[in-house]
A and B are shown apart, each in its own frame.
Chain A
Amino acid sequence: MRDEHLILRVMMKVLFAPIILFAFYVQFHGDYGPGGGFQAGVIFAVAFILHGLIYGVGATRRALPQGALTAMMAVGVFLYAGTGAVTMLLGRNLLAYDALVPNSTHHAGQHYGILVVEFGVGMAVAATMLTIFYHFAGREPEIRDEDW
């Protein structure tokens, strides 16, 4: 593996960071324009899936272990639901983000609220996509290559 696929491995290294950067762009652009947590999460996961395709799932698992993904999933969903709950604790209805920054003339609370929620969504989606990938790709191959 070390010496094979030189082009792929080099290209992978070149592409990895821009893909992640693009994911974050989509993530934090999502409250105003096209974009958002779901798409960003998928793009983020794509970077790691690409890594897994080229270096093998084992290497990707070492870089981003399943335990971390599980935590990301849980925390992501919690961020989503928790933001809503915070507005409830502040005495307003669920998801009434205005409560986050009261007395704002331009509804800054809506901004912060959707930002946090989308971040949670992005985390959960990225973790879920990667988990699906790990589990599909990481299963014991039942058909050995010789059987084909």
Chain B
Amino acid sequence: MIIADQLPVLPIITPLALAPFTLLMPNGRAAHLWAMAVTGLSFLFCAMLLAQVAEVGVISYQLGDWAPPLGIEYRVDLANALVMLLISGVAALVAPFSYESIRTEIDDRQLPMFYTAFQICMLGLLGVVVTGDAFNVFVFLEISSLSTYALVALGGRLDRRALTASYNYLVMGTLGATFFVIGLGLIYQATGTLNMADIRAQLEGSPSNSMVEASFAFIVVGMGLKAAAFPMHLWMPNAYTYAPSAVSAFIAAASTKAAVYVLIRFTFTVFGTDFEFIQAMMTYILTTVALAGMFFGSLVAVFQSSVKRMLAYSSVGQIGYMLLGLSFGTEAGVQASLIHLFNHGLMKAALFMSVACVMLRLGVHDCAGFHGLTKRMPFTAAAFIFAGLSLIGVPLTVGFVSKWYLLQAAFEVGRAWAGFLIVASSLIAVVYVGRVVELILLRAPPEEGPLSADVNGEPVREAPLSMLIPMWLLVAANVYFGLRTDVTAGLAGRAASALVGGGQ
């Protein structure tokens, strides 16, 4: 076997073949080590895949040697490879991070199951991104969603609201997936094929008809539900808030991103922007939804008392940025979208990880737990502040890079007002992040009451190294990619030109 030939499928098949054995592990520690190995391997393969794609261009992989469009094809270009790197990278960091945190939040006997579901979730998300077959997207999407429901529900031991949150997520997520399937049915009926490239070839140059339009509408709504785009975000704040902390870190960084990626892929690669209705939809609907989401998410985030919930609402706003970039319909816009997709994954994972550290020691994810954190858990506090600055978009962090490209894209299409709205909503981010940072820096740690000591009644210590190292790696990535802008921006730029222009 030559690894280079099999790279597109290796990140998928490795966890698929190995994850089931996690179930058989005798204890949580073994399952944890196994999960670390599997996610690490997947990450390695994704990194190699990205390097290969950057070098040789689009890779097409035929499953079972059945040629597309009949067979299922994995088609990897820079856009997929970048998103896959993000998903597997976050998974590879959350896996070592999770053990100390998850052990206190769920039953020990459930640990092997937790790690199984975690790997399956990553596998599903990677599959969504890698595949070039439209129906395959649905299958992988449901694989990842089903495991996410289970992961969220595991939070039910600490707070029973996790159960209802997971249930609502299940109902909304299934509705979204079914809408997506209806869309696929319509497009299949119109073109007679399910291969993405082939659908495009069939649609190319033909006038639009109502079937194609309806199909696109269903797909946008379905993926909007999965991505928690603004008016369809209702499942998301509760799911992120009550899920176990490590799970929040992973799904916040990875799962909605896959849905946004699918939206980008279908808009530009499958349907193509030549259609009038797609342009109209992007101009009138997506732009509105994106802008409304940016402000709604950020404004609601300001008033949350739980930091996790605040970050969840902030995610609603950040999805708005990604959709805004997409709605410009230009190369620069898609580039900004992809950059923000990647960067937002990095910062949200770091932020949720720092909340997980606080949760581990103090047992709460409320603002109250963050009082005077610098004096009690300095490294956690610093990580939160750095990642928070990145979320705001302060220069030298990745947040700045994404906002910068987004602004450029806005001005390029002559929508200066959109640029001003981006800045304005970023100012709201200053408020909600600043609010917590103020508590961290300026308040004194509580002297008495339940929060003056950690969950075991002992003085509050810093989080263990197994949690600090992955968290700081992410923070370092936030700064590194903020300084080396050419890496992400260059890759995203090439990916965007391939997506929008059709060139490779």
- Is chain B in direct contact with chain A in the complex (CB below 8 A)? yes
Chain A residues near B (Cβ < 8 Å): 70-71, 73-78, 80-82, 84-85, 88-98
Give me 20 A-to-B residue pairs in the complex whose CB atoms sit less than 8 angstroms apart, sorted by A's number.
Answer: A71-B24, A73-B20, A74-B20, A74-B23, A77-B19, A78-B17, A78-B20, A81-B13, A81-B17, A84-B13, A88-B13, A89-B1, A92-B65, A93-B62, A93-B63, A94-B61, A94-B64, A95-B64, A96-B65, A98-B65
The answer to whether A93 and B24 touch (CB under 8 A), given A82-B17, A85-B17, is no
The answer to whether the Cβ of B281 comes within 8 Å of any Cβ in the partner chain is no
Q: Are B16 and A93 in contact (CB under 8 A)?
A: no
* Chain B, interface SS category: helix
A91 to B6, CA, bound (A): 9
The answer to whether the Cβ of B9 comes within 8 Å of any Cβ in the partner chain is yes
Contact residue among A74, A78, A81, A93 (Cβ-Cβ distance under 8 Å from B6): A93
The answer to whether the Cβ of B21 comes within 8 Å of any Cβ in the partner chain is yes
Q: Are A97 and B20 in contact (CB under 8 A)?
A: no
Nearest B residue to A80, CB-CB: B16
Measured between C-beta atoms, what is the minimum distance from B61 to chain A in Å? 7
Rank and list the top 10 A-B pairs by shortest CB-CB distance, nearest first: A74-B20, A95-B64, A81-B17, A96-B65, A81-B16, A77-B20, A94-B9, A89-B1, A74-B23, A96-B64
Chain B residues with CB under 8 Å of A82's CB are 17
Nearest B residue to A96, CB-CB: B65
Chain B residues with CB under 8 Å of A81's CB are 13, 16-17
Chain A residues with CB under 8 Å of B19's CB are 77
The answer to whether A70 and B1 touch (CB under 8 A), given A94-B6, A94-B63, is no
Q: Are A78 and B64 in contact (CB under 8 A)?
A: no
Measured between C-beta atoms, what is the minimum distance from B19 to chain A in Å? 8
B94-115 interface bits toward A, Cβ cutoff 8 Å, 1 = contact, 0 = none: 0000000000000000000000
Measured between C-beta atoms, what is the minimum distance from A37 to chain B in Å? 15
Nearest B residue to A92, CB-CB: B65
Measured between C-beta atoms, what is the minimum distance from A24 to chain B in Å? 23
The answer to whether A70 and B24 touch (CB under 8 A), given A77-B16, A81-B17, A88-B1, is yes
Q: Are B24 and A74 in contact (CB under 8 A)?
A: yes
Chain B residues with CB under 8 Å of A89's CB are 1
Given A80-B16, A95-B64: 13 more A-B contacts, CB < 8 Å: A77-B16, A77-B17, A78-B20, A85-B13, A88-B13, A90-B1, A91-B1, A93-B9, A93-B61, A94-B6, A94-B64, A97-B64, A98-B65
